[in-house]
Structure 1
Amino acid sequence: MPYLFTCPHCQTKTQVDDRYSGHKGQCATCGGDITVPYFTDAGAVQASATRSATAKRNKSTGLFVAAGLAVVILACIVFAAIRYGGQTVAALTENRLRSASMKNLQEIATALNAYADEFGTYPPAYTTSANGTPLHSWRVLILPYLDEVELYDQFDLSKPWSDEANMSVAYQMPGVYEHPDTNAVGYSMVPAYYYLTGPGTLFPKGKPLGPEDVKDNGSQTILVIEGRPTISSGMWTEPVDMDYGKMQGLVGGAVGIEPGGWIPGGVAMATVDGRAHFLPIGTPASTFNALVTPAGNEPLADDTLD
């Protein structure tokens, strides 16, 4: 097999057959002494070197491409984390608060129903003195049904909630009345759960109604709900609830007037059957109003509160 040989003296290139590998002689052009190299070994070495260099180049190229791809993927992950991570954390936080608040409401509803089982009606929105002065919220009256008998016994129910002796006791508010999002108010004596009072509700002015007065579906009639009405004292014992007559039924509407104000996505509530539910913002006012009335005979789909 012929190989290309270059004279080291005159740089003349000549085709030399590989059978002359290792032979000595003189260059046909310049007459200089030459030694023909072993072409087979040299070719093998050169081929090996070429393959090694090629492999290194391919490896380097592969590493470069892999590194570039890793950078692109990392950039995408960082972008997604920045764009969607905050939303995910917010959604998880809202779901946690919603579940915890619904648990509180279910416990309160159970206590209200236990009171009704004993007395035939739900506790009044507040007790009154002989001359009609409001004394204590219903939240005080159901303390024994929340396993808070010892706390209940410390109140003097013959005196107003604002009496000095009763105020000192009120600083022991049961945790079930406190909203899980304590950062929303920064004051732990503010209750988060209220009656809806007024004509057409379970709690009209005067005598409250009881489970037997609920002619609509009890699983679709509101018993107690989240709210943030103005409480001058900031105390859970103050006789304050939410006036249904001032509402338009807008879930998450004007804070202090409409239901909600705690969780951005809607409002948690409990129905007469003792179950807790969540009404999202955007719930039609007609649906909310139908859920308030205990005997309005408004038709609601079975899955309204699913």
Structure 2
Amino acid sequence: MLAVCGLAIGFASLVGRSARAARVMSSRNNLRQVMLGIDNYAAQYNQLPPHTLFDLNGKPAHSWRTLVTPYLAAVDQLYRWDESWDGPYNMRLARGLDVHIDAPPLNEFGEPLIKTMGPYDGPIDYAWPFRTAESDGKSDFHVRYFAIVGNETAWPDDHNITYDDIGDGVTNTIMLAESHLLDAFWSQPIDLRFDQMTFTINDPKGRGISSPRKLGPLVAFADGTVLHLNPEAPQDLVRALLTANGGETIERSQLVRDGWLR
């Protein structure tokens, strides 16, 4: 009887580990999907997307996530560009609530400001590619993947760049990172600012890269590679990986061999 109980416990433990591994893999795939969307955007516009679009008063109005979403999957882009991300219509969209599009608004050329591929059949969870598959107790409609923004990074404030402008190399520059110290809706123009963030992983004293996962937070490099960043990674290494033209000598393959990237 004891042997049977022990076998059952061992099997349950194996199933639990397998389920956790599957969720981690889903989280990695989500981040890969986002990077693919960025690639597709860059292929169409010959430049990487801006991290924020501003209104006429200089107020942050739209996020890069709303720009790349149409390139992620064959879903309707119901976002309204004639109001800010936190306007009444877009806020309902961000919260995963139903919206009404009986009379789509038109731009100055008479073209629809929102695009549908067919009859509206209910709300869409736009946030899913931008979050992990592992629940952290937060609302499903909050994102967990953020751009690292600022003029030192691949997401500068005052201009758009191409992959060729990343002097440190696309294999050595992190564009997106996981964070559970920052809350944002899918459409909310909030990201990790290089000049304000902490470079200590899981630092409770400031906004930075973080994850409750023992493997460490997920990060996406500019070449599309997604890896886990060791929570013990030194600050100077983290900082170097986030700069686009810092001139640091980094070899990602060596960092993998040394265990800083997994």
Normalized per residue, the structure richer in strand is 1
Among candidates 143, 162, 174, match of residue 210 of structure 1: 162
Q: Do the aligned partners of residues 116 and 252 (structure 1) sit closer, same or farther apart at CA in structure 2, a change above 3 Å counting?
A: same
Give the Cα–Cα distance (whole angstroms) in 1 for the partners of residues 174 and 200 of structure 2. Answer: 15
Normalized per residue, the structure richer in helix is 1
Among candidates 206, 230, 234, match of residue 284 of structure 1: 234
8 Å CA contact retained: 1:228, 1:255? no
8 Å CA contact retained: 2:151, 2:158? no
Query: Percent identity, aligned pairs only?
Result: 22
8 Å CA contact retained: 2:148, 2:176? yes
Larger RCO of the pair (alpha carbons < 8 Å, separation 6+): 2
**Matched AA of 1:111:** G
TM-score, reference length from structure 2: 0.75
Trace 1:238-249 onto structure 2 (pairs within 5 A): 238-249=188-199
Q: Do the aligned partners of residues 94 and 290 (structure 1) sit closer, same or farther apart at CA in structure 2, a change above 3 Å counting?
A: farther
Long gaps (5+) in structure 1: 1-69
**Matched AA of 1:296:** G
1:169 aligns with 2:169: no
1:230 aligns with 2:156: no
Give the Cα–Cα distance (whole angstroms) in 1 for the partners of residues 88 and 229 of structure 2. Answer: 39
Give the Cα–Cα distance (whole angstroms) in 2 for the partners of residues 111 and 212 of structure 1. Answer: 18
Question: 1:206-232: CA deviations, max 9, x gaps?
Answer: 22332121111211211211112433x
8 Å CA contact retained: 1:129, 1:158? no
1:189 aligns with 2:151: no
Give the Cα–Cα distance (whole angstroms) in 2 for the partners of residues 219 and 144 of structure 1. Answer: 25
Give the Cα–Cα distance (whole angstroms) in 2 for the partners of residues 297 and 148 of structure 1. Answer: 39
Pair member with larger Rg: 1
Q: Do the aligned partners of residues 201 and 90 (structure 1) sit closer, same or farther apart at CA in structure 2, a change above 3 Å counting?
A: farther
Question: 1:34-60: CA deviations, max 9, x gaps?
Answer: xxxxxxxxxxxxxxxxxxxxxxxxxxx
8 Å CA contact retained: 2:181, 2:210? no
Q: Do the aligned partners of residues 224 and 282 (structure 1) sit closer, same or farther apart at CA in structure 2, a change above 3 Å counting?
A: same
1:296 aligns with 2:246: yes
Cα drift, residue 268 of structure 1: 0.5
Cα drift, residue 257 of structure 1: 1.1
**Matched AA of 1:162:** D
TM-score, reference length from structure 1: 0.65
Long gaps (5+) in structure 2: 97-123, 257-261
Trace 1:1-306 onto structure 2 (pairs within 5 A): 74=3, 78=6, 92=18, 94-148=20-74, 150-151=76-77, 154-170=78-94, 171=96, 172-174=124-126, 175-181=128-134, 183-231=135-183, 234-254=184-204, 257-301=207-251, 302-305=253-256
What do you get for the CA RMSD once the two structures are aligned?
2.9
